[in-house]
Amino acid sequence: MPIPPNTITLPILYSFRRCPYAMRARLAIYNSHLDIELREVVLKEKPTSLLAISPKGTVPVLQLPNGRVIEESIDIMYWALQQNDPSHWLPSELKPAIQVLIKQNDDEFKYWLDRYKYADRYLEHPMEFYRSHCENWFAILEQKLISNDGFLLTNRYTLADIALFPFVRQCAHVDRSWFLQTPYLHLQAWLEKMINSNLFTQVMQKQPQWLAE
């Protein structure tokens, strides 16, 4: 059964450590210095409390103390930054550009990323075909990084950098040797800096599977 409103004191985040959507939700929440209850989910053993508030059964899902449920990672990121945005990831003048870039990543790049990563499931084309489409996105990001001193939209991190990072990371790790020999040097540096950041190290700490008492 879902938890009734006003019976929890902290927002509850259902997450899975390696899911890129869950990663970016955690990055926003932790950078906003918000206290939450983190519930690490094993996707093959989804808890009934998660399915009760979000029948689609994907993560991340955030349940607020007032009973509101936020089921999309980008909406969780926006919620976190609305509470506190100490690093100014969401400047008002860049909101339209941020939204466009995230939409391109989530609607277009993610389509090709899935086919590249799981090429054995999509036998219509060889893996290299799917990778070439991913590489088109890498080329676009490379030019943005060159134009903005190593960041995507301005001379510092914005929500766009944080929201795209887990998916670029996932794609790069499909064949890391290939990625490292590409000409996208600024993208490689951007990715490495993000991976080695204290924030990413913090949100990627291993958590035990959450089990209802």
* Rounded Cα gap, residues 187 and 180, in angstroms: 10
Average pLDDT for the chain: 95
* Rounded Cα gap, residues 138 and 169, in angstroms: 11
Asked whether the predicted pLDDT for residue 5 surpasses 80, the reply is no
Residue ranges per domain, the chain?
A: 12-87+199-203, 92-197
Q: How confident is the model at residue 212 (pLDDT cuts 50, 70, 90)?
A: confident
Contact 191, 170 (CB under 8 A): no
Asked whether the predicted pLDDT for residue 7 surpasses 70, the reply is no
Contact 168, 160 (CB under 8 A): no
Contact 202, 31 (CB under 8 A): no
The CATH code that applies to domain 92-197 is: 1.20.1050.10
Name the CATH code of domain 12-87+199-203 (choices 3.30.429.10, 3.40.30.10, 3.10.110.10, 3.40.1550.10): 3.40.30.10
- Residue 30 is encoded by which pair of tokens? 């932790």
Residues 81-125 have pLDDT tens digits of 999 999 999 999 999 999 999 999 999 999 999 999 999 999 999
Q: How confident is the model at residue 4 (pLDDT cuts 50, 70, 90)?
A: low
